[in-house]
Amino acid sequence: MEEKKKNRLKKVAAGLRQDIIRMLCLAGSGHPGGALSMTDIFSYLYFGDVLNIDPNKPDKKDRDRLVLSKGHACPILYAALAEKGYFDKSHLKTLRKFGSILQGHPDMNKTPGVDISTGSLGQGLSCAVGMALGARLNGQSLKVFAVIGDGECDEGQIWEAAMAAAHYNLDNLIAIVDKNGLQIDGFTKDVMDTEPLAEKWKAFGWEVATIDGHDYDQIEDSIQKAKNASGRPAVVVAETVKGKGVSFMEGVCEWHGQAPSEEEKEEALKCIGEFKTD
């Protein structure tokens, strides 16, 4: 990746991280850890000329689809959609408020740019499989991206969907696993060890890449290869750090679903500012 593009994406990611922290502090509840771990991926997807989307035409039929299966991490999706221009950024201040278009899990009936309502873990990949299969039957060349959590891979429905995607040779489907090693109850290896995770996807017939989910060169290379996969679906296993960019949140289970206080917000914003210059 060109250095100019990389620096631009890092700057975007820093802004998205700041928006995540601010909106969660105002909401007083939510999930910072898994939103921050996916920020670099979302920065690339939405601002790296990857997704065929148009905020002025959010319902255009030939658009690419993005399914945030780990719906509790919606602050990163909302921050990206607002930055992209799907709705005014003032809505970010209303996260989880009664009547807001930005609820605690994505709602396709309320939020422009949300392709499917998610929240019940394990179901998003099945929705993405249906979208990809439907696009093929309709003769559409769009791509479907499904972002899932490594803790979510405990769910049997993930593997049913993975098996179906390979059976139908859905090479228009790209899954991205946020492998940050933590879930609400602790380390994934202790709650339900899914290792060897990459080998499991391979065994289910997927094209697999394992990357550093914060390295833009690796992100770009893996996603571009996934877009060009032929004859079978592709998955990017992105090894990330929960709470990335905020030092006191990084790798700490308690920040899976805990909003920062006003004081913690200020400290987090300072961390992100320093992280941006690394």
Q: Looking at the whole model, is its pTM more than 0.95?
A: yes
Whole-number pLDDT of residue 121 = 96
Largest CA distance in the chain: 53
Q: To the nearest whole percent, how much of the chain has pLDDT over 90?
A: 97
Q: Residues 154-186: pLDDT tens digits? A: 999 999 999 999 999 999 999 999 999 999 999
> Per-residue confidence at 275, pLDDT binned at 50, 70, 90?
low
Residue 126: domain span = 3-276
Q: Choose among 53, 49, 50, 45: nearest CA to 79.
A: 45
3-state helix, strand, coil in the chain (%, to 5): 45, 10, 40
CATH number of the domain residue 14 falls in: 3.40.50.970
> Residue 109 CB: number of other CB atoms within 10 A?
7
C-alpha 171/C-alpha 10 separation (Å) is 29
Helices 216-227 and 3-27, packing angle to 10 deg: 100
Length of the chain in residues, anyone?
278
Phi-psi region of 104 (alpha: psi -120 to 50; beta: other; left: phi over 0): alpha
C-alpha 20/C-alpha 259 separation (Å) is 10
Alpha helical stretches, state H, the chain: 3-27, 33-37, 39-47, 74-84, 124-137, 156-167, 188-191, 197-203, 216-227, 262-276
Helices 124-137 and 156-167, packing angle to 10 deg: 20
Whole-number pLDDT of residue 113 = 98
Whole-number pLDDT of residue 123 = 97
Domain count, the chain: 1
